[in-house]
Amino acid sequence: MRIFISGLDGYLGWPLALHLTSAGHEVFGCDSFLRRRLVAEMGSQSAIPIATMEERIQGAKELTGDSITFREGDLQDYGFVESCLADFKPEAVVQLGQMPSAPFSMIDREHCLLTHQNNVIGNLNLLWAMRDVVPNAHLVKLGTMGEYGTPNVDIPEGFFEVEFRGRKATLSFPREAGSWYHQTKVHDSNNVNFACRIWGLRSTDIMQGVVFGTNTEWVGGDERLYTRLDFDEAFGTVINRFCAQAAISQPLTPYGSGHQKRGFLPLQDVMQCLTLVINNPPSRGEYRVINQFDQVFGVNELAGIVQEQAAAIGLDVKINSIEDPRIEAQEHYYKPDTDRLRELGYKPTPDIGPTVQIALRRLVENRERIQVSRAAILPRIRWDGGA
Amino acid sequence: MRIFISGLDGYLGWPLALHLTSAGHEVFGCDSFLRRRLVAEMGSQSAIPIATMEERIQGAKELTGDSITFREGDLQDYGFVESCLADFKPEAVVQLGQMPSAPFSMIDREHCLLTHQNNVIGNLNLLWAMRDVVPNAHLVKLGTMGEYGTPNVDIPEGFFEVEFRGRKATLSFPREAGSWYHQTKVHDSNNVNFACRIWGLRSTDIMQGVVFGTNTEWVGGDERLYTRLDFDEAFGTVINRFCAQAAISQPLTPYGSGHQKRGFLPLQDVMQCLTLVINNPPSRGEYRVINQFDQVFGVNELAGIVQEQAAAIGLDVKINSIEDPRIEAQEHYYKPDTDRLRELGYKPTPDIGPTVQIALRRLVENRERIQVSRAAILPRIRWDGGA
């Protein structure tokens, strides 16, 4: 299949390109390298050194014999988006080309607007270009479980049947996103749904849980093929950040009660899930929502798992809860459905422990890089705008 | 009260400024004159000639003795927005400064993006400026009933209690907007709700029905005080467009089945409703949603009312249904709540007939202006992007 990946240089984009190329697909992609610049703005860097795109592509070619085609550019530039699709004529478009950090979007007005411009306008350009150039292609849009918030009922996959005052209807499940970043993903979901309705595009909107880990089967072998691993307060997701803290013997810092619950899945499972989604496209005009995660954990529970795996490799790590810089429910119900991926054949990694331990080992090898940017780990960005 | 109106030059903004000034409030406002430019782009003009802002303000001063303060500028310019709020320190901010046309937003990619930029980014700037300058002020945000779409259940005012798999929760009522313009209003609603949640802003988000008519009590007396009345396919709403067609003896053109139902209210009722909302602000941190309309009508029914009122003033008008250029449900359930405004004291105009007749008379006086732009009335903009 001919597959286009926007955000090819990212944490998910690069290993996905390798994974799909290795499976025999033709992979094309683009990136504006925004993520590399923004992590630098946070005073941080990827804990694992990553190669340039040229080196990555050369490494991939040596591994698989196939070339990944890359173009540098921004989804906010319509001419660029249109020419990518026109030249490559993809059958699937995997939209990972977005600013992915909740705290980053909360810094101030400029960062809130950058997030809206980059994510919402970029995604609209992609929708219009698909309509004009590849209307039959399958848009695999990366959203987030965070779009739903933490409602006091089960979270279905996108839609639910409700009875209200004696009548029934199938409605979109309401979103209550918890940051400007998450809001942009809600705006995107609404826009993608509408594009499917009016233009007959087909899309899978993936409500993804929090991803963690460093390795997929192809990323492990060659240094040029490593994907990035962020640990700063903005771009480091919780398990990865705990692993980085453990690697430099800094106490793990759950925010607030530590009872906040979220859905998680390891990096290698993302590859498996996205492949299943790509191989099983929805019909023309269908807007399909999939909740993509494996298990639900509380934050303290995760800190305990990282502490335990750290101990197993000889690291003595403490846990120090700190004030929650976010405005979020501290105690809440959380039970999202996740049936669709199982129905497509998803076989989750049975135990997250080994994935965490592999990440810890990899981060210990790179502890100097974490050490030098350690000031970027603890939260300074507050949801209420306070200092 | 000190009241700031963005979109002061618009169909609703100008008569609202007069209405509030006459009631003794201090009124400040801004406008970028976008609407005047876009109606010209559609090859049309206001059926009723409107004065320049300078003339309008002079007329208002002669009528009420009070000055309306105006600044020309764009909500997309943060410095402009911030300085307006800093200089005027309003207690209420009425946000009417948005691109209000569904068909306009559907023309092509450029118009879809202009709508997103103008509405979503402009509104974000206003939210940030309120946080920084007047966090205690009441934001009265104009949304639209079109945000909800046409679900097969009653439409509550913003939120509803649902039981799902045996658990209960109060959730935002799901939106299913029918154009890019309506999508931007949904994005705004989500953003305003979030700003109330994290910053403690207070806001009333008004899901407004379709407005019609030419007169309010102050607008009638002085030509400089008239508000605009658009009839082109993009900016003319359905009753106003039918009245303009009647005024030039063009057949009225319901789209499709004509069974599409919507909520409507006369222009003078908007003044009454917005005043009630301004006089009864929500608490700090509260995001209140109000459905603002009086009666639900089907489109054919409206055509019949306009035809009847036209006959009463000697105009013989035909009704010719035409193909629906929009993608919308032709037959559907429609029962939105509208209790909150009644609870605040809203007394609806009892019969829409006289309002329609007054509009017809005013438009007959200006039939030359409609005649010259008659090519702009019939729809050329299609939701499916066809020719």
- Model confidence pLDDT, tens digit, residues A100-152: 999 999 999 999 999 999 999 999 999 999 999 999 999 999 999 999 999 99
A314 phi, psi to nearest 5 deg: 85, 15
d(CA A265, CA A65): 30
Is the pLDDT assigned to residue B124 strictly greater than 70?
yes
Mean pLDDT of A162-166: 95
For residue B63, what pLDDT band results from cuts at 50, 70 and 90? confident
d(CA A160, CA A147): 15
In angstroms, how far is CA B257 from the centroid of its own chain?
Answer: 25
Q: Quick one: residue A36, left, alpha or beta (phi over 0 = left, psi -120 to 50 = alpha)? A: alpha
Per-residue confidence (pLDDT) for residue B369, from 0 to 100: 98
CA atoms in the 13 A half-sphere facing the CB of A323: 7
Q: Does B152 touch chain A (CB under 8 A)?
A: yes
Is the pLDDT assigned to residue A217 strictly greater than 80?
no
Provide the percentage of residues in chain A whose pLDDT is more than 70: 99
Q: Does B116 touch chain A (CB under 8 A)?
A: yes
Question: What is the DSSP code (8-state) at residue A119?
Answer: I
Catalytic annotation, pick one of B144, B253, B275, B338: B144
d(CA B1, CA B90): 8
| Chain A residues within 8 A of B167 when measuring between CB atoms | 152-154, 333
Which residues neighbour B373 within 8 Å (Cβ) at sequence distance 6 or greater? B43, B44, B45, B231, B232
Q: Does A292 touch chain B (CB under 8 A)?
A: no
Is the pLDDT assigned to residue B387 strictly greater than 70?
no
Per-residue confidence (pLDDT) for residue A386, from 0 to 100: 63
Q: Does A169 touch chain B (CB under 8 A)?
A: yes
Tokens of B111: 């118009």
CB contact under 8 A, A165 and B187: no
Tell me if A46 sits within 8 A of A39, measured CB to CB. Answer: yes
Element (H, E) at A303: helix A299-312
Is the pLDDT assigned to residue A387 strictly greater than 80?
no
Selecting from A109, A116, A327 the residue whose C-beta is nearest the C-beta of B78 gives: A109
CB contact under 8 A, B151 and A171: yes
- Model confidence pLDDT, tens digit, residues B247-292: 999 999 999 999 999 999 999 999 999 999 999 999 999 999 999 9
CB contact under 8 A, B154 and A131: no
Per-residue confidence (pLDDT) for residue B217, from 0 to 100: 73
Provide the percentage of residues in chain B whose pLDDT is more than 70: 99
Lowest mean pLDDT among A209-223, B47-61, B254-268, B362-376: A209-223
Mean pLDDT of A199-213: 97
The answer to ipTM > 0.90 is: yes
Mean pLDDT of A311-324: 97
Selecting from A116, A152, A186 the residue whose C-beta is nearest the C-beta of B120 gives: A116
Q: Does A255 touch chain B (CB under 8 A)?
A: no
Lowest mean pLDDT among A227-231, A383-387, B157-161: A383-387
β pairing state of B261-266 and B202-208: unpaired
- Model confidence pLDDT, tens digit, residues B196-211: 999 999 999 999 999 9
Tokens of A206: 């993936």
CB contact under 8 A, B167 and A186: no
Distance from CA of A137 to the nearest CA of B (A): 18
CB contact under 8 A, A162 and B162: yes
Which residues neighbour A138 within 8 Å (Cβ) at sequence distance 6 or greater? A91, A92, A93, A202, A203, A204, A278, A281, A282
Q: CB count, 10 Å around CB of A186?
A: 25
CB contact under 8 A, B116 and A124: yes
Q: How many helices (H) and strands (E) does chain A have?
A: 14, 12
Distance from CA of A228 to the nearest CA of B (A): 31
Nearest Cα to A385, choosing from A323, A324, A321, A325?
A: A325
Per-residue confidence (pLDDT) for residue A219, from 0 to 100: 67
- Residue corresponding to tokens 């966090």: B135
Is the pLDDT assigned to residue B330 strictly greater than 60?
yes
Question: What is the DSSP code (8-state) at residue A226?
Answer: P
d(CA A2, CA A87): 11
CB contact under 8 A, B177 and A154: no
Q: What is the DSSP string of B71-121?
A: EE--TT-HHHHHHHHHHH--SEEEE--S---HHHHTS-HHHHHHHHIIIII
Interface test with B, best of A191, A199, A334, A339 (most B CBs within 10 A): A191
Q: Does A79 touch chain B (CB under 8 A)?
A: no
- The number of C-beta contacts closer than 8 angstroms across A and B is 125
Would you call B18 helix, strand, or coil by DSSP? helix
Q: What is the DSSP string of A252-300?
A: B--BTTS--EEEEEEHHHHHHHHHHHHHSPPPTT-EEEEEE-SEEEEHH
Provide the percentage of residues in chain A whose pLDDT is more than 90: 96
d(CA A191, CA A69): 28
- Residue corresponding to tokens 């400026």: B129
In angstroms, how far is CA A323 from the centroid of its own chain?
Answer: 25
Distance from CA of A147 to the nearest CA of B (A): 11
Q: How many helices (H) and strands (E) does chain B have?
A: 14, 12
Per-residue confidence (pLDDT) for residue A63, from 0 to 100: 86
d(CA A185, CA A99): 10
Selecting from B165, B191, B194 the residue whose C-beta is nearest the C-beta of A153 gives: B165
Would you call B41 helix, strand, or coil by DSSP? helix
Per-residue confidence (pLDDT) for residue A64, from 0 to 100: 86
Average pLDDT of the residues of chain B = 96
Distance from CA of B249 to the nearest CA of A (A): 34
d(CA B144, CA B264): 11
Between B218 and B262, residue with greater pLDDT: B262
Tokens of A382: 């507050």
Is the pLDDT assigned to residue B351 strictly greater than 70?
yes
- Residue corresponding to tokens 């005080």: B225
Strand residue runs (E) in chain B: 2-6, 26-31, 69-72, 92-95, 138-144, 159-164, 167-172, 202-208, 210-212, 261-266, 287-292, 295-298
Is the pLDDT assigned to residue B337 strictly greater than 70?
yes
Mean pLDDT of B17-24: 95
CB contact under 8 A, A190 and B194: no
Is B144 a residue of the active site? yes
Selecting from B164, B333, B383 the residue whose C-beta is nearest the C-beta of A153 gives: B164
d(CA B228, CA B247): 16
d(CA B121, CA B77): 9
Tokens of A359: 């990440």
Per-residue confidence (pLDDT) for residue B220, from 0 to 100: 61
Average pLDDT of the residues of chain A = 96
Selecting from B165, B194, B385 the residue whose C-beta is nearest the C-beta of A199 gives: B385
Question: What is the DSSP code (8-state) at residue B252?
Answer: B
β pairing state of A159-164 and A167-172: antiparallel
Distances from the Cα of B298 to the Cαs of A148, A262, B359, in angstroms?
35, 46, 20
- Model confidence pLDDT, tens digit, residues A264-274: 999 999 999 99
Nearest Cα to A385, choosing from A327, A321, A329?
A: A327
Per-residue confidence (pLDDT) for residue B386, from 0 to 100: 63
Tokens of A50: 């990553």
β pairing state of B210-212 and B202-208: unpaired
Q: Does A174 touch chain B (CB under 8 A)?
A: yes
d(CA B218, CA B213): 14
Mean pLDDT of B170-180: 97
CB contact under 8 A, A174 and B174: yes
Beta pairing partners, B208: B144, B292
Per-residue confidence (pLDDT) for residue A216, from 0 to 100: 75
d(CA A145, CA B365): 57
Between A243 and A350, residue with greater pLDDT: A243
- Residue corresponding to tokens 């206001």: B46
Distance from CA of A185 to the nearest CA of B (A): 10
Distances from the Cα of A254 to the Cαs of A203, A317, A378, B143, B271, in angstroms?
36, 13, 10, 39, 51
d(CA A353, CA A212): 11
Distances from the Cα of B215 to the Cαs of B18, B19, B363, in angstroms?
12, 12, 12
Angle between helices B180-199 and B122-133 (to 10 degrees): 20
CB contact under 8 A, B153 and A172: no
